Structure 1
Amino acid sequence: MTDGRLSHVELLARDGETGMPCRRLEGFQKIERRHPGGFQRGSTYRHWLCEFGVRLIRQNNAPPFYISNTNATHGNCNLIMEKLRISFHRRFTRREFTMSHSSNAVFPIDALLWGIRRWVEIESPSQDGQAVNRMTDIVEADYRAQGVQTQRIPGRDGLGDHLIARKGNKHGPGILVLSHNDTVHPVGTLDDVLPFRIEGDRAFGPGIADMKGGAFLAFSAIAQLDVGDLNWTLPVTHVLVSDEEIGSPTSRELIEAEARKAKYVLVTEPGRNGGRCVTARKGIATFELKVHGRATHAGLRHRDGRNAIIELAKHILAIEALTDYERGLTINVGTIRGGTKPNVVPFEAIAEIDIRLPTPPMGEEIIRKLREIRPTSDDYKLMLTGRIKRPPYTKTEAISELYETARSIASDLGFDLSDSATSGASDANFTASIAATLDGIGVNGLDSAHTHYECMEISSAPQRAQMLYQLLRTLR
């Protein structure tokens, strides 16, 4: 444990209606501070006083810390400053000096935006392990600065590391918060088609919706949990994986293992369709159908050839016909390839198939039908390979109860939290059959994920952070 010193305090009062600076006060006081994050002695900090409260910002890009919920006005700035001067003459405990720990914890918009932007501007495409690890380094450092225990799981196959943060000394099944550090955007996107910017009530940037915005909301909420809060009863584990956008090939085992230790799982994917959370997702199965025929010269011995592309085409029509919109089952033959030269009857043709499955029984049904496909003649050979990559996430009674709890909290905070089902998959597909899972509780992504206009709604971020915080401290 290391002492740090607060050598300069700057208080900026903001008008509660306009948000514009209205008064500036400065003070110079030296205090001793203890914090397990190991801040260096003599560090300089800035305090900004606004309508949301007092927050502390380290100059070297560390996350904000909140030390008061006091509202700022023209009349009470001097009084607040005097109270701070008096307080500076004694030691602070970690609880007093870090986040404001109460049932009314605040999440200032400017602090959330500052933190989200810092994470967004560390580009982290899934298949660039070093880039993802730069992001993981920052998240790990931010958690350690809050005194939160972390564990790093080394990546493999060229992918990045996974990070686990644990808070709370409670025992028994707890709450798993599930996020990912990777994005679909390649390095250079920030300098090209999607720089960080704010336009009205929207903040833009690669991965800001999916899901660095939501991951930062979770970090902010967890950081404010107070071990002395008697309402908080369940230990919290935050897992941030490095490969969700490519199917979680190296993290699925970790996700399922942590889910087995949990009573609830909260997934910080973006809200959709106006900020709705997600209580059901289709499963995903991928298959490859390969056909072998007989190659011959297309001019000299065309009659003797067996065209693998034609055989595959017949089966494609039959496979696509299995789509059933009424039941929510979709089958898409997304790619086909075959043949070698225009003057050769093709020996081989291959189709890649994407299947979206609303329920596990439907998955068993469609896989059985695919395996029943037979060649049209003995001159052809069919080979089918594939599996269910993400099982369906269905809305069970336990999931409904968890959603109703979140909806009640949201109502108390002044907004309506509707739920939805979606065809897109997430890591929630792995956990829903293990523990009650609620997805889509990150930022309102305005249905922009994976686009060159990816963005988040700014104004709803504090409420959604508060909802997540209240879930963490009140779930039983």
Structure 2
Amino acid sequence: MSSIVNAFSNKDACAAALEQVSERQLEMVALVEAWSKINSGSRNLVGLDTMEAEIVKAFEPLGAEVAYIQLPDGEMVNAKGQVETMKNGRCIRIFKRPTANRKVLLTGHTDTVFAVDHPFQAPKYLDDITLNGPGVADMKGGIIVMLNALKAFEETPDAASVGWEVLLSPDEETGSLASGAILAERAKTADIGLTYEPALADGTLAGARKGSGNYTVVVQGKAAHAGREFHVGRNAVVALSQIVGELASLTGGRPELTVNPAVVQGGVAANVVPDMAWCRFNVRLKEPEDAIWFENKVQNIIDKANAVEGYSVMLHGGINRPPKALTPANLLLMEKIKLCGADLGIDVNYVPTGGCCEGNNLAAAGLPNVDTLGVRGGKIHSAEEFALIDSFSERAKLSALILMAFANGLLDDVVKAKAH
């Protein structure tokens, strides 16, 4: 029996519950294979509905309440440079004992980055322990880890002292633009947060995270024949090129800030002065105050371009995930989770990352959280995405022990630090 479990008032029941996680290993792997075959790309509302039903069915044995939150429509700039409305799916809330003194928020997402017409649609084994498939790591596998940790926890008398809430969003892969407000609202009701993005293949977890913003800049000029009336035209591609150069030059303007102009489109033919061009770009920033600096610089670039006769420039988008700074409460939580890992023979280490997830949103709302408690895996957002299948029971045990430790007061100092 582990030393942490030995300190619990219901140590035998907790030890038995942890042991039973291993017995569900094959069940977990079979479930992720089945879920991986369901396309639930962020814009595939039918697939997201199918995934939602499967998840709710899987969580039924926990005897929790279920609620749904329809997200508002979003906006995006289409290939014609026009702002259009995009439908979003809905969040799933699964919760139990909401009036308990100790509360934990477990978050994840039902969407993947793979559209209905993407060739990557089904799982396959690369070897005996490596499963390749859409969402096996990011994060259908993570939801299964979460589910089985809660199953183990609910098998113990300690569960009676903890209120837990699972919040699963359908738009994380597009930046949580519509669900961000829901994440912030629910974060304010909890004491700690656990999020189930995948760990690295070696088990390393994410610590501090950069913030991120996605933008589109659209330039409208004036079309003209490139030979007969070249000087009558207003070349939108040339104007956009200058803007892109100025945006790229902002990289390094603040420590570790990067700007990535990523997708560019404009023009119709070589003998036509192009009247429209657009660029999608991303910014990553380390400190919350960097957002103000960046937004001011970008607005100056747009204002200057708009002042040129014959051109109209539109900027769409913004900072959608603030940086995740490590507060004293967050550092304490990370240390407690490291101790839980050591107790199970799992070496838990943390590294800062430029990537973003719902952990950014929770931290911005003041909730200490660790956000890579899912399966060990890698190459996410590509057709080479994989999960290491032995990590399903391993990571479910880790989260179950975290919940048990929380119930037994071992994380109370985290809650006190959060309050200050």
TM class by shorter chain equals: 0.7 to 0.9
Matched, 1:383 2:311: no
Residues in 2 aligned to 1:335 and 1:462: alpha-carbon distance in whole angstroms = 40
Match of 1:122 in 2: 38
Matched, 1:460 2:391: yes
Provide Cα deviations, 1:122-172, integer angstroms capped at 9, x if missing partner. 332222222222221122122222322222334665443322111236524
CA RMSD after TM alignment: 2.6
Residues in 2 aligned to 1:327 and 1:396: alpha-carbon distance in whole angstroms = 20
One-letter code of the match for 2:322? P
Matched, 1:171 2:100: yes
Residues in 1 aligned to 2:371 and 2:253: alpha-carbon distance in whole angstroms = 24
8 Å CA contact 1:339–1:348 kept in 2: the answer is yes
Aligned residues: 375
Task: State the secondary structure of the residue aligned to 1:262.
Answer: coil
After TM superposition, the structure 1 = structure 2 runs for residues 223-262 of structure 1, keeping only pairs within 5 Å, are 223-226=151-154, 229-230=157-158, 233-262=161-190
8 Å CA contact 1:189–1:206 kept in 2: the answer is no
Match of 1:363 in 2: 291
Matched, 1:321 2:252: no
Match of 1:36 in 2: none
**More off after superposition, 256-265 vs 243-252:** 243-252
Match of 1:162 in 2: 91
8 Å CA contact 1:232–1:472 kept in 2: the answer is no
Residues in 1 aligned to 2:266 and 2:239: alpha-carbon distance in whole angstroms = 11
Match of 1:148 in 2: 64
Query: Between Structure 1 and Structure 2, which shows a larger proportion of helix residues?
Result: 2
Higher relative contact order, chain-length normalized (CA < 8 Å, sep 6+): 2
Cα gap change, 1:474 to 1:232, in 2 (>3 Å): farther
8 Å CA contact 1:232–1:473 kept in 2: the answer is no
Residues in 1 aligned to 2:71 and 2:293: alpha-carbon distance in whole angstroms = 36
Match of 1:442 in 2: 374
Match of 1:420 in 2: 351
Q: What TM-score do the two structures reach when normalised by structure 2?
A: 0.81
8 Å CA contact 1:209–1:443 kept in 2: the answer is yes
One-letter code of the match for 2:283? I
One-letter code of the match for 1:408? L
Match of 2:9 in 1: none
8 Å CA contact 1:173–1:261 kept in 2: the answer is no
Cα gap change, 1:277 to 1:299, in 2 (>3 Å): same
How many percent of aligned residue pairs carry the same amino acid?
Answer: 27
8 Å CA contact 1:214–1:268 kept in 2: the answer is yes
Match of 1:433 in 2: 364
Cα gap change, 1:332 to 1:244, in 2 (>3 Å): same
Q: Which runs of 5+ in 1 are unaligned?
A: 1-99
Rg larger for: 1
Residues in 1 aligned to 2:222 and 2:144: alpha-carbon distance in whole angstroms = 57
- 1:262 is displaced (CA, Å) by 0.9
Question: 140, 145, 152: which is aligned to 1:212?
Answer: 140
Q: What TM-score do the two structures reach when normalised by structure 1?
A: 0.72
Cα gap change, 1:134 to 1:294, in 2 (>3 Å): closer
- 1:266 is displaced (CA, Å) by 0.7
Cα gap change, 1:262 to 1:340, in 2 (>3 Å): same
- 1:252 is displaced (CA, Å) by 2.1
Residues in 1 aligned to 2:278 and 2:116: alpha-carbon distance in whole angstroms = 32
Residues in 2 aligned to 1:411 and 1:325: alpha-carbon distance in whole angstroms = 41
Residues in 2 aligned to 1:313 and 1:250: alpha-carbon distance in whole angstroms = 31
